[in-house]
Amino acid sequence: MVLGLLAAVLLSPTAVTAKTSGRNCSAGCGVGFDYFEIPYPFGIGPECSLPGFNLTCATGPGNTSVLLLGNPSIMVHDFGGSYDHSPTIGASIGYSVEMAAGVRDYSIYWEAPGKPFAISGSSNMSLFVVGCGVEASLFIGDSDVEVGNCSVMCVQEIMERLPQGLCVGIGCCYIDITVNLRAFTLNISRTGHAARFHSANICCDTFFLYWETVYNSMQPKANCPTSCGNVSLPFPFGTEIGCFARYELYLACNPGPSPILEMPDGSVVTGISIDEGIVRVLKLDPKGFLAHMDTPLYAASGEWGMVKWVVDNITCKDAILASTEVYRCFFNNSNCVDVIDDNTLEHVGYRCKCTQGFEGNPYLKEGCTVGHGGHGTVYKGILTDQRVVAIKRSNIEARTEIEQFINEVCILSRVNHRNVVKLHGCCLEVEVPLLVYEFISNGTLYDLLHREQNDTLSPLPWEERLRIAVEIAGALTYLHSAASESILHRDVKCMNILLNDSYTVKVSDFGASRSIPIDQTHLVTAMQGTFGYLDPEYYHTGQLNEKSDVYSFGMILLELLLRKKPIFENENGEKQNLSNYFLWAIGQRPLEEIVDERILGEASAQAITATAQLAQECLSLTRGERPTMKEVEMRLQILRSSQVIGPRARIDEVPRPHCEFVKTNRIASSVSMAACHHGSRQYSLEQEFVLSSRVPR
């Protein structure tokens, strides 16, 4: 097995020659680093840096200068950035694993260069594996705790046809890194018996490497200053690293006979009230303080005024009338307060001032009801570190609700996937326990598909429908096959598919979910689910297995294809089941008369036919005739990758970073991998690959 350093070019440790550091801390590192300002505690040479922060200036092929940190696999690109409000450096790592004949399994172990460092788990980063006929599994350190896994398949000579774009499991796959990693183990195994394996280099954006010791933002480090002069300094504000929850909440305490507490712009802080949501200041920019920050937490109010907390830049009237309830303040527990900049008299946003809070919960400062359901109430809350979260308060007096509460904690504590809603924690110090989730801002897939605004439905391009289907299928595949025990969702429906601010899928509501040991084929349970999505065989036999989720997914696929509700009114005004209607209509009418007319000008006839056929298979009355979620996901991936995909401007204008494949000479029997940001993941495949669907994940 040959290991090497992979960046824009493929290097190896033997190709890098270290230079003499010397004692001059201002010395450069070759012409290539004249633009770098290397900040302390980093430095070239032990006398210019703290232990563990020593850098090595090196020369690679073509006399190019590179800067290495500790482990020679880590190449530093820049300093001084921050991600998730912690100081970071930009870096990249990479390896090339040469596979030998007759050897099936390979393992790579990577460790951060020192205790202060960790790869960020919240920087939207993935580990990419490029090759053919291999499976890859990523573990935390040398433990058996899995971060994720993926598999790669391809046919002969596919690597010569790899274009720039999406990574969908054909020639390339990726593993999302969602936890901070100080070390990881990557296990690679062959899944096929082909004599030749191919590889391509990857050119990646830098990933983020924390150089701050990780700390719990809810509990700052010990001995943090609690005041500056005569001004109290409550958490989440702080004057030292480890004492504030976010960089925006950093304040400076200038020493002297009368210490002064200052904002980053020099405004003098005279008082802080966390409960009232204000910071009183002495001097303010007349146009408004911190108006251009990435996270606008504040709004200005006068020279001897205060910095006000702002939730969102809309009025209370708009918040109350908004079609999505995430903005509303319900008067049974809170009221809406418009926030006005007293200098400009301009409206800068609103905040929900709660009249009734969750007493006994020190983390929740304010919350607003965003929805009621049969199982309880969901609130929008702001934690003390200013994270916006969703808080679920169950109707705990019912025994079934207690069981579902415990079940949801048990299920979600084992799940880690980018398309499954994240459970932040469970608050038990209140009378009625609370579940705290990430807050998902764009409502449900049901809202997007079926809720009208001004008597019209929101535009939903064909590519977006395919992407949403792929992400739902990926999450269900993960639940069914990525853990030691399969997890059956048991209530897959559009109302339980949430969409975040970039319209990325988040599967939610695991109160009814069940685990099945790997050696069991099904469970016998009391029937539970939603009419219209319920597996007919489960309804009649009470036997639950993964094919029950497949049936429910088939209904979602129909909703995306036809844009009709599971129970809809037909031309005669009668209620009709969407599945029954589709299975009847597909044999009686042309497909273009059945599907949503809005997609006819965007999708090819072959794509519509393939999607309809897949939905028909998922909705088979007999489970044995339904595909697995693995097969469904792969077929949708191949279908999506064969489309000509344009920009997502109509419902999502957020740009995405991009990773490009760099074509190089093929290396026989090898696999390459590298770490980088999420990019767009698209292949333009030859038509014959459409049938290559039944491959291991």
d(CA 151, CA 131): 9
Dihedral-angle region of residue 532 (phi above 0 means left; psi in -120 to 50 means alpha; beta otherwise): left
Tokens 């200036």: give the residue.
57
Residue 590, C-beta contacts closer than 8 angstroms, at least 6 positions apart: none
Q: Is 519 one of the annotated active-site residues of the chain?
A: no
Closest by CA to 559, choosing from 497, 621, 609, 494, is 494
Among 176, 491, 549, 596, the active-site one is 491
DSSP per position, 427-480? E-SSSS-EEEEE---S-BHHHHHH-EETTEEPP--HHHHHHHHHHHHHHHHHHH
Cis peptide, bond prior to residue 41, ω within 30 of zero: yes
What the block records as the tokens of 240 is: 């030292």
CA distances from 82 to 209, 502, 670 (A): 10, 22, 35
Tokens 């109430």: give the residue.
377
Helix (H/G/I), strand (E/B), else coil: 196: coil
Please work out, in degrees rounded to the nearest 5, the angle formed at the alpha carbon of residue 108 by the alpha carbons of 104 and 111. Answer: 165
Residue set of the binding site for ATP: 392
CA distances from 121 to 83, 96, 118, 207, 670 (A): 10, 23, 9, 10, 28
Cβ pair 505, 472 in contact under 8 A? yes
Exposed/middle/buried for residue 115 (C-beta within 10 Å: 0-12, 13-18, 19+): exposed
Name residue 324's amino acid.
T
Q: Which residues are known to be catalytic? A: 491
